[in-house]
Amino acid sequence: MGEEILRVENLHVSVEGTPILNGMNLVIHRGEIHVIMGRNGAGKSTLASVVMGHPAYEITQGSIHYMGTDLQEMDVFERARAGMFLSFQYPAVIPGVKVGTFLKKSVQAVRNEEVKGREFRKELNEAMASLEMQKSVTNRYVNDGFSGGEKKRLEILQMLLLKPHLALLDETDSGLDIDALRIVSRGINAIAPNAGCLIITHYQRLLDHVKPHFVHVMIDGAIVQSGGPELAHKLESEGYEWLDAPKEA
Amino acid sequence: MKYADLAVPSRALHLWRYTPWARIHPTSVDAVPEAMPIRFSLIEGGAELVDGAPRILDGDDIARVFLSELGSSATTVQPDGSSEVVHLQAVASGHVAVGHLHLDFTRDTVVVLHLSGEADWTGLHITGAVAANTRSAFGLVNELSSNGKLLHCEDWTIERDAFLELAGLSIGGFRCKSDLRTRFLNPGGRLNQAISVHGSGQRHVDHHVEIYHDVPHTDSSLNVHAACDDSSHSITTGLLTIAENANHCDAGQVFKNLLLSEKARAEAIPELEVLADEVAAAHGAASAPVDPDQLHYLMSRGLDEESAVALLIEGFMQAGFSSLKHDALVDEMRTRLTVHLECELKR
């Protein structure tokens, strides 16, 4: 078992007074791939957002520790510089900011060093080639006019360049065609051996390409069931009803 | 019409509501002070600068009449087509500086004018004629000293099947009033105009843009992006006129403001006057602070808040030029903007 990367204990989170997470517990070690599945509104994306420090979410109880450090003391950019990465379900569109400029600034900020142009271009070209991305993407504005698949590839490209210790992937597979799914999965598998990965998904099909160590089911803001990859298959065939608490007669 | 015969314009007029004549006049409104000529020179590129320019006066417009009476010196730029881009410099010095630059676009050319200097007050009149079936572009980079005033008028005419792109980058001067007018003379003309403004300190920048579709089958597009910080104030008023029988015109105006502080102000007032039936005309305006989702996204990639906001400002202003087709013009405007913003950040 690798070192502990993320520890979530009894986490309660609210948005504008509405509870979303209700006693969430999760521990991720380096080299582990965890998958969280659940119905819409179960709190999956909230978990990813709150771990990354989105200011809209308020932690009302519990704690999150990243590599032994209490995350509540860290600003969003400090989390990124410490090696945390969130692949957004809906990445922001930033008109006027070119992808190439953005990537270089991000890499420099996270690595805390001046990145030399030639070396960065070489590294960028290799990463883009592995994701079958065209070089011209670097001259486009960040996510501006991108298709769903292009946005997700750009997220994975950033992950490859930033080499995080913890990768949170929020529905990275949604909206991808079969080829794009295969390519994005390749990116996840490239980073996974040296990081802790948390994948949020609705579909078992991603797990044909990325082999998880643990699959968790979230209902009403907490994990109600955990298991291996077979759990994802069961959910695919039987849905979530069998996990619902029995209703009183 | 002489300046002395003109009445001070009423603030009820669209054009003078936000920057009254008395606030942009160099002295007291009755006076026509002594003025030093602006020095125009060629920095780079193939063009000839000759003394004199066609006298173009728009009737009784007070700003144009005033600029005309302030100074009689004028310069005409005639690009020779030997280079893709012509770089010109205009230096304003002394208490009051004034100049008239005329651009004679008879072949495909990009001209960029870099306006700088320490004058307390600068008056600049730019006129231009775009010949039939040419593709031309003009960019003005206002880099005047931060405590000067600028009164700036432009008058353009576009001939048959000609394409003109106009770009403005407003980063200099304390109080700036620009009155920019373009008129289509024959069918088939196209105008693509983009302006980016950066307001900081107590900077006051007022752009008034008039586009006249007097003839059918003419297209125009206007994009204005203003980023306002501190207690700065940006105003953009537009008047888009499509004359009766000027059918099959396509015209649009979009004004966007990015408000970076609680004291910053921005007005965006597009106005349409459409008298023809078979046209497409649209306008839109939006003012908003920094988008928290964009900020969070950049910060989640390691940029601290200050760097993330700076990148968003730069992107917002760069996007103002994204509609332009002349790459050389876009590159120049963006480079000047980037340099300006980097200098601002170091302060």
Q: Label each residue of A57-117 as H, E or C.
A: CEEEEEEEEECCEEHHHCCHHHHHHCCEEEECCCCCCEEEEEHHHHHHHHHHHHHCCCCCH
Q: What gap in Å lies between CA B278 and CA B249, rounded to an integer?
A: 8
Q: Is A249 inside any structural domain?
A: no
Q: What gap in Å lies between CA B292 and CA A92, rounded to an integer?
A: 10
Q: What gap in Å lies between CA B344 and CA A186, rounded to an integer?
A: 43
- Output the pLDDT for position B347: 59
For residue A15, list chain B residues with Cβ-Cβ distance below 8 A: none
- Output the pLDDT for position B192: 98
Residue A49 to chain B, least CA–CA distance (Å): 10
Q: Is A95 inside any structural domain?
A: yes
Instruction: Express each pLDDT in A26-78 by its tens digit.
Output: 999 999 999 999 999 999 999 999 999 999 999 999 999 999 999 988 999 99
Residue A139 belongs to domain spanning? 4-244
ipTM for the whole complex: 0.95
Record: contact B303-A158, CB cut-off 8 A: no
- Output the pLDDT for position B1: 83
CA B338 vs CA A140, B171, B276, B291: distances in Å: 17, 11, 42, 21
Average pLDDT of chain A?
Answer: 93
Q: What gap in Å lies between CA B161 and CA B188, rounded to an integer?
A: 4
- The number of CA neighbours under 13 Å toward the Cβ of B57 is 16
Instruction: Express each pLDDT in A207-226 by its tens digit.
Output: 999 999 999 999 999 999 99
Q: HEC string of chain A?
A: CCCEEEEEEEEEEEECCEEEEEEEEEEEECCCEEEEEECCCCCHHHHHHHHHCCCCCEEEEEEEEECCEEHHHCCHHHHHHCCEEEECCCCCCEEEEEHHHHHHHHHHHHHCCCCCHHHHHHHHHHHHHHCCCCHHHHHCEECCCCCHHHHHHHHHHHHHHHCCCEEEEECCCCCCCHHHHHHHHHHHHHHHHHCEEEEECCCHHHHHCCCCCEEEEEECCEEEEEECHHHHHHHHHHCCHHHCCCCCC
Can you point out the beta strands (E) in chain B? Answer: 36-37, 39-44, 47-51, 74-79, 85-92, 96-105, 109-117, 121-130, 135-142, 149-158, 163-170, 175-184, 190-199, 204-213, 219-228, 233-242, 250-259, 265-269, 272-274, 280-289
- Output the pLDDT for position B344: 79
pLDDT > 70? residue A248:
no
Of all residues in chain B, the one with the smallest CA distance to A164 is B301
- B302 vs A110, A141, A142: nearest CB: A110
> The domain that contains A41 carries what CATH number?
3.40.50.300
Grouping H, G, I as helix, E, B as strand and the rest as coil, residue B179 is strand
CA A212 vs CA A28, A30, A231: distances in Å: 12, 13, 11
Record: contact B304-A109, CB cut-off 8 A: yes
Residue A88 to chain B, least CA–CA distance (Å): 9
Q: Is A38 inside any structural domain?
A: yes
Q: How many domains does chain A have?
A: 1
Of all residues in chain A, the one with the smallest CA distance to B319 is A96
Q: Burial level of A245, CB count in 10 A (0-12/13-18/19+)?
A: exposed
Chain B CB within 8 Å of residue A88 CB: yes
Chain A CB within 8 Å of residue B313 CB: no
Q: Which amino acid is at B214?
A: D
Record: contact B319-A95, CB cut-off 8 A: yes
Using left for φ > 0, alpha for ψ between -120 and 50, and beta otherwise, residue B249 falls in: beta
A&B contacts, CB < 8 Å: 83
- Output the pLDDT for position A73: 85
Give the residue from B74, B301, B244, B247 showing the smallest Cα distance to A111: B301
Percent of chain A surpassing pLDDT 70: 98
For residue B302, list chain A residues with Cβ-Cβ distance below 8 A: 77, 80-81, 106, 109-110, 162
The series of mean pLDDT values per 10 residues for chain B, 347 residues long, is 91 90 94 94 95 77 94 89 94 96 94 97 96 97 95 97 98 96 97 97 96 97 96 95 96 96 94 94 94 97 96 95 95 94 75
Q: What gap in Å lies between CA A124 and CA A138, rounded to an integer?
A: 9
Reported confidence tier of residue A247, pLDDT bands at 50, 70, 90: low
- Output the pLDDT for position B227: 97
pLDDT > 70? residue A19:
yes
What is the mean predicted confidence (pLDDT) over A119-129?
95
